Structure 1
Amino acid sequence: MVIRTYGPGQVPPMIDLVSDIWADAHPELVGTPGAETAGLSVPALHRQITGHLRWQGFTMVAAYVGGTAVGFGYAFPCTAAYWFGADLVDQVPEGARTERLMGLCELAVRPPWQAQGIGIRLHTELLKAVNPRWSSLLALPSNNRGQDLYARLGYQYAGPYTNSPGGPVFDLLLLRVEASPSGPSA
């Protein structure tokens, strides 16, 4: 397996590829009524990635097996006010508000390659590239495989999060990234 790191200028030609990976990893959402409105669809992912490309430090990583892309993730350093929003910013630990924060937006691996450590390696590469003291992500409570991975990585539940009125309720998860002599680790 090879993991490659991409900056914002390299990502636009990859959006269809990573959208295919996302769709394979989330078959329960593809074509679901209301998924587009809730921001849980391939077109919504396109808009999300395109909107996030403007963030300084935007990083995407992709995993390849035999030259085929099997997983990806992306993240960027962001402010606590942006990431948590007005309703949650005062409820997260002080360090998550004041120290370097990474917003982990997507982490997806195609089903045939899940449970082989690829998600962990993608996460590790994002931590190396962004170098945060805290990492945060949103996960659907029903995403059991994702929730299991995030728990193994050390993420902890910080509260419910809704990104739009009437939208789905996500679990807001937080990770305090410990520094090591060779850099952050999960």
Structure 2
Amino acid sequence: MSTPSTSTDLVIRTYGPGQVPPLLDVIADLWADAHPELVDNPGAEASGLSVPALRRQVQGHLKHAGFALVVAYTGGTAVGFGYAFPCSAYYWFGPGLVDQVPEGARTERLMGLCELAVRPPWQAQGIGTRLHAELLTAIAPQWSSLLALPSNRRGQDLYARLGYRYAGPYRGSADGPEFDLLLLRVALK
């Protein structure tokens, strides 16, 4: 791995669903670097928070119309990625939460932000913010939503700076981890 360079040589590329399969190893490696606390954690796989779970998740999401993957490169090295797709409120929030989110999040164009990860040496350089902006440009939502582990302080801080607000707890399954459901009303340009 190369040493961090300034974000002035940062290049962000956007990929559609057909371009993603050859990049699965790259984004899995990025995810693992950004989440060292989950790598080799026996409970992580059972909770769906592992590299194999990420691979399954991405492959399952490729079928969604409008799917977009963004990858940040500096000096030719991939240092971060994010992916999202437009989705219905019912799909994203599920029957237990759909009626608890603001009406606009239920009725206007919604982006489900699934992953946003930057390798630790390149964090705090604005790369996550730029990846997020590229996803908003690619998908053009009126609302964006994501799930974040309450213990992920760096991620929580970034999402707060981006304008996301807590909308409630979310659990994908009865025995799965509890996430914070975060919502962003995207400013119209």
* Corresponding residue number in structure 2 for 1:81: 90
Select which of 148, 168, 174 maps to 1:165: 174
* Corresponding residue number in structure 2 for 1:103: 112
- SS of residue paired to 2:42: coil
Is 1:139–2:128 an aligned residue pair?
no
Select which of 156, 160, 185 maps to 2:165: 156
* Aligned-pair CA distance for 1:10: 0.1
Identity %: 77
- SS of residue paired to 1:36: helix
Q: What are structure 1's unaligned runs of at least 5 residues?
A: 181-186
- SS of residue paired to 2:95: helix
The aligned amino acid for 2:152 is N
Is 1:40–2:64 an aligned residue pair?
no
* Aligned-pair CA distance for 1:80: 0.3
The aligned amino acid for 1:39 is G
The aligned amino acid for 2:25 is D
* Corresponding residue number in structure 2 for 1:53: 62
* Corresponding residue number in structure 2 for 1:11: 20
Is 1:70–2:57 an aligned residue pair?
no
- SS of residue paired to 1:62: strand
What TM-score do you get using the length of structure 2 for normalisation?
Answer: 0.95
Is 1:94–2:103 an aligned residue pair?
yes
**Equivalents in 2 of 1:128, 1:121: separation in Å?**
10
* Aligned-pair CA distance for 1:31: 1.2
**Equivalents in 1 of 2:11, 2:123: separation in Å?**
15
Moved over 4 A (4+): none
**Equivalents in 1 of 2:25, 2:113: separation in Å?**
19
Alpha-carbon displacement from aligned partner over 1:23-68 (angstroms, at most 9, x marks no partner): 0000011111211111100000000000000000000000000000
- SS of residue paired to 2:45: coil
